[in-house]
Structure 1
Amino acid sequence: MTNSERMKMAAGEWYTCLDTELEDLRVRARDAVFEHNSLPPRQRGNMGPALRALLGGSGEGARIEAPFHCAYGFNLFLGDGTFLNAGCTILDTAPVRIGKRTLLGPNVQIYCAEHHREASGRQAGLEVARPVTIGDHAWIGGSAVILAGVSIGEGAIVGAGAVVTRDVAANTTVVGNPARAVMRR
């Protein structure tokens, strides 16, 4: 018996993103994101209702500024008081867990998908999903990019524009491309 592409994605196996079930789920997410991004700020509040319903979890006081984009939404989990500034993009093919009171600056990007290394695999839509975890009280600077499979520890700081390719220890500041530690508190 063959697993569905969604099941393969959830299991961290190679799957094809060209699957119709996955496309239907992405359309559902785009609809929720469109509502969130289109609502007047006072009507939207911290998060549009369709987006809040779509997310895997959203703690008390979690806020997402518009515009925002996510691939699926159901793999995104926000802690209490988490703040995502305008322009954030989260391609949540795997679980993305963002801890409480963590701040993401404008245009932060989180990518859980890794595409196939062979051109033929990429043309077939093959990718593998790796989770991303960001601990409590972290600060991710504007335009930082966090790649698949990365964990960022509690209280860590990622400098603006950094490209995070490896885990970041708790209470460590990283900067650059690729991100490297410059300070541990």
Structure 2
Amino acid sequence: MMRDGDFLEKTSSGSPNLASPEVISGELNAGPEVDVWSCGVILYGLLCGSLPFDDENTPNLFIKGGIYPLPSHLPPGARDLIPRMLLVDPMKRVTIPEIKQHPWFQAHMPQYLAVPPPDAIQQAKWMEIDEDILAEVAQLGFDRDELCDSLRNNLQNKATVAYHLIVDHRRAISEQISRRGG
């Protein structure tokens, strides 16, 4: 259990390739800054196809002092965000709330992850429940009525996440078909 103002222990676990410089060097750390670093490494890996810091010998991972290539094919917003996440100094690293407000982070955020509309009438207009998808999620073992209630009340739980993932998947397939003209 971590409390505000406490530091995490010096022992670390997980992949050294994702570990922040302060974890690799065995320094005390507060937690969120370490998570931002790891997320920055993962984001880099997802967008670039390789890790920014990679060496078979763990001590060599950060000898470069946080220097890594930033491919030119990255979108400008990602080119701005990744270096802010991968700052060696944890006190200068972007925070999680700052990441959530970053324009690149918000650019293609699905509506169900964004701040919900303030009033229930807007919510009802915002989303019609798709009966086919509802049935598909129910087949996964979720209670249909609870899922409907959760969707109407804009709750986030495993069932609503499953529902929205299927919605997004179907939308992506539909867009691919439209682009191919068939």
TM-score of the pair, normalised by structure 1: 0.22
Query: Structure 1 or 2: larger strand share?
Result: 1
Q: Which has the higher helix share?
A: 2
TM-score by length of 2: 0.22
Higher Rg of the two aligned structures: 2
